[in-house]
Chains A and B, each alone.
Chain A
């Protein structure tokens, strides 16, 4: 196996220095702000854990956090089954495989604010393709700047459009790594297509699905740019996710203390849930 060699540290030193510069110093700044109150002019007063206490009892924080969890929950519920389904239906060989892979990966390479702007143009009532189809052709009143439900449907559809391909690509990579012999054995046993999926395909996809779910959780929980450009958090506060609220407080109102406390709680939740997911999903492997 691996040789015990503490010289490995020399090899990782540049990485550690660069990442530490980017991660530890800003993190210390955030911790520093989170326990202080400022009135500008670089005057700071010790606040202790006051911001954390206020935040944990604030309705605004609870509401934003709730919306964030609802968004991430819906995203995972829709994108994971949909992605697996599409991967199962994709061709395994031939000319169409690279075509599928390239076109499906395309949305992931578009800058995030362009994604927001693109969906904004797409959904404009009367002059956007989707807005026109809904309002004029189908006669369903649809305006995401007015109706909170329409705004939610739009941000969910946008994220499904943007990231389902990640689940598709990973599941597909897991599927093509299954040797043909497995399917032949299943055929001899007369296994139903559900049994093939449940006992052959799903276990083989488990590792890549773990990565897909982890990545989708982290990224949808931290989503900012796309939703901000598309809805700006509105109408009202209906799509103000935690990240949008955070930037409003930090850069809009310049309330550094509360924003820093919020950042730390935010980061802690992401870490905790990711770690839970990860241990739960890899538990069986270690047995």
Chain B
């Protein structure tokens, strides 16, 4: 039994090492980083974080990311809810083909779409807006949300729908006051996954923005170009991008696997 526990412990240690290194570096001065190896910061400094929180070009990166990620989550869940209901309750012409077509969009390499997306969103006048990134991320987040929600809805007995309609509930009222509360966990998990995949994606977000809606992940590339190579600043910015994920993951910890299994465990 003892030996068995060692495997997860070693694995978690392996996962934490690069994260530890990033965090530890964010508290070092650039001079200390470049002068040689040190396991712990010798002189603790908060300067790297101070730069990020006082320089608008830095903290706006975070705000931009949070804006488009939230917008994307709201759009994805709103349109995915009725679609998932239809897939789970009705059979209609072409439903299976449609479902597979949605799946294929999860497979398209983002690299393939980068240039056409730039042209499309420039043509409709949305280039460099939060809405553009939010809509573009719908490409992979809507299919994902539909699958997850459909999986959770499949677990709700059909009798619930029928009873409510017999009791004289109108369909919208039934959907909002009875059906939605019974798949609360599913909505939470789907929202988490939309948040996650929109938060970690960079290629499209970077292609579709220039200044006004630039994501934090793209802001980070400037540490390498403008002022030499400021590793401490880069590390601090990286550390701050981990925090939102760590917070939301805590709330859905028991449902993560079910979400990855698209609601089908």
Measured CB to CB, the residues of A under 8 A from B are 1-9, 11-12, 14-16, 18-19, 21-23, 25-27, 29-30, 85-86, 89-91, 98, 100-114, 117-119, 121-122, 126-130, 132, 136, 161, 164-166, 168-170, 172-174, 177, 207-208, 211-212, 215, 218, 221-222, 224-225, 243, 246-247, 250-251, 256, 259, 263, 266-267, 270-271, 274
**Minimum Cβ distance to chain B for residue A84 (Å):** 11
- Are A16 and B262 in touch, CB under 8 angstroms? no
7 more CB-based (< 8 A) A-B contacts, given A5-B92, A8-B92, A263-B112: A11-B85, A111-B199, A111-B201, A114-B220, A122-B17, A266-B109, A267-B108
Cα A103 to Cα B4 in complex, Å, equals: 18
- Are A166 and B142 in touch, CB under 8 angstroms? no
- Are A90 and B8 in touch, CB under 8 angstroms? yes
A-B contact pairs, 13 of them (CB 8 A): A2-B89, A12-B83, A15-B142, A19-B142, A23-B108, A105-B253, A109-B196, A113-B217, A119-B18, A173-B265, A208-B261, A222-B110, A266-B112
Measured CB to CB, the residues of B under 8 A from A are 4-8, 11-12, 14-22, 25, 33-34, 36-37, 39, 75, 79-80, 82-83, 85-87, 89-93, 95, 98, 102, 104-117, 119-120, 135-136, 138-139, 142-143, 146, 196, 199-203, 216-217, 220-221, 231, 234-235, 238, 241-242, 245-246, 248-250, 253-254, 256-258, 260-262, 264-265
- Are A8 and B5 in touch, CB under 8 angstroms? no
- Are A101 and B256 in touch, CB under 8 angstroms? yes
**Minimum Cβ distance to chain A for residue B55 (Å):** 18
- Are B109 and A89 in touch, CB under 8 angstroms? no
Number of A-B contacts (CB under 8 A): 268
Residues of A contacting B83 in the complex (Cβ-Cβ under 8 angstroms): 11-12, 14-15
**10 tightest CB-CB pairs across the interface, nearest first?**
A109-B245, A173-B257, A26-B116, A11-B86, A8-B92, A8-B90, A8-B86, A89-B7, A263-B112, A222-B109
- Are B264 and A211 in touch, CB under 8 angstroms? yes
Residues of A contacting B90 in the complex (Cβ-Cβ under 8 angstroms): 2-5, 7-8, 11
Residues of A contacting B86 in the complex (Cβ-Cβ under 8 angstroms): 8-9, 11-12
* Secondary structure type dominating chain B contacts: helix
Considering the complex, give the chain A residue whose CB is closest to the CB of B218: A113
- Are B109 and A121 in touch, CB under 8 angstroms? no
A18 and B112 in contact, given A26-B117, A106-B242, A225-B202 (Cβ under 8 angstroms): no
Most buried by B among A1, A112, A215, A271: A112
A256 and B115 in contact, given A16-B98, A18-B135, A169-B260 (Cβ under 8 angstroms): yes
Residues of A contacting B246 in the complex (Cβ-Cβ under 8 angstroms): 102, 106, 109
A86 and B7 in contact, given A8-B91, A106-B15, A113-B220 (Cβ under 8 angstroms): yes
Residues of B contacting A256 in the complex (Cβ-Cβ under 8 angstroms): 115
A4 and B91 in contact, given A121-B25, A161-B18 (Cβ under 8 angstroms): yes
A225 and B203 in contact, given A19-B142, A121-B21, A271-B104 (Cβ under 8 angstroms): yes
- Are B4 and A114 in touch, CB under 8 angstroms? no
**Minimum Cβ distance to chain B for residue A192 (Å):** 16
- Are B258 and A117 in touch, CB under 8 angstroms? no
Q: Which of A110, A119, A127, A166 contacts B200 (CB 8 A)?
A: A110
A15 and B18 in contact, given A91-B5, A250-B115 (Cβ under 8 angstroms): no
A111 and B260 in contact, given A12-B87, A121-B235 (Cβ under 8 angstroms): no
